[in-house]
Amino acid sequence: MEIRWLKAFEAVAQELNYGRAARALHVAQPAVSQQIVQLERSLGVVLFERTTRSVRLTPAGHAFQQPCRAALEALGAAARAAQNAGSGESGNVRIGFSGAFAHEGLSQLARESRRHHPLIELVIAASGNNDSVLEQLLSDRLDIGIMSETHGHPKVASRLISASRLGALVPADHRLATAESARLSDLRGEPFVLTDSASRFALRDVTIEACLDAGFQPHIAQEAADSFTVFALVSAGMGLTLVPETARDIWPHGASYLALTDVPQRLRSVIAWPADRSFPALETVLGVAGRVFPTPAGP
């Protein structure tokens, strides 16, 4: 049984389409079909029901899918362990991120790592909220997380890398859009657009806390599942939101940043990694991170 047969099966099982599976594997479609036939002959079972319109897993295919995936993951882990056992100048490091600062911080870290350590591959995972990044660090699916500082865990080490001031992102036609600065209390009664509570992003909690400290409960006119949708809604004139000043490069057209003079809260971001799991390439990338964003002084 060959590894390429298992990879072909996993791709077809995920896509349920031979053409899409071939594109995912960067091979020709006939090669995928041939590898599936070879695998079925090796096992002595039929794994897929094929018609001109559809591809479905057979009962044998369903039974084979999870062990096949586990075998491929184990092979990947074995290869990664061997690659990461060297001097720290090669290997791969898996990074996940959450929070507004993470987009800027991740790009800086990736650029500097490629420049100084080109043989280290950074595997960037899909972003999520802090909880998902923390869970992936604990389950050995990530090596580094860049996220908002909300809560710690005894098995995860972290270091503060940003403590960003908060301002307001307002529609371009807002009455204060051209002002240099304002007080948050000046925005009392205005409609706010925030991420929803189910998304569990730290910026929502910091925004509500800042408004309460300024003497009012924010009127939440609309909610969204992620920050980019929030920014788009602000640009569309649906309301305003609070944002860290470090995220200025990702704001959309049609919105203006307004500095706030009465907000002591900071959106604090950390770089985190498993406290009980290390390897040379990870230490190398953490060293680069120390140069790219040293721990900020002050509160």
pLDDT of residue 253: 82
**CATH code of residue 272:** 3.40.190.10
Same domain flag for 169 and 246 = yes
pLDDT higher than 60, residue 299: no
247 vs 106, residue with greater confidence? 106
Mean pLDDT, residues 240-248 taken together: 86
pLDDT higher than 70, residue 264: yes
Same domain flag for 12 and 34 = yes
Residue 298 lies in a domain: no
The pTM for the full model equals 0.68
Band of residue 37 on the pLDDT scale cut at 50, 70, 90: very high
- The model's pLDDT over 56-78, given as tens digits with 9 standing for 90+, comes to 999 999 999 999 998 888 887 77
* DSSP per-residue letters across 225-271: SSHHHHHHHHHTTS-BEEEEGGGGGGPPTTEEEEEESS---EEEEEE
Same domain flag for 187 and 255 = yes
Q: Distance between CA 250 and CA 120 in Å, rounded?
A: 27
Mean pLDDT, residues 238-248 taken together: 87
- CB-CB contact of 138 with 153 (8 Å): yes
Domain assignment of residue 274, given as a range:
91-161+268-292
Question: Domains in the chain: how many in total?
Answer: 3
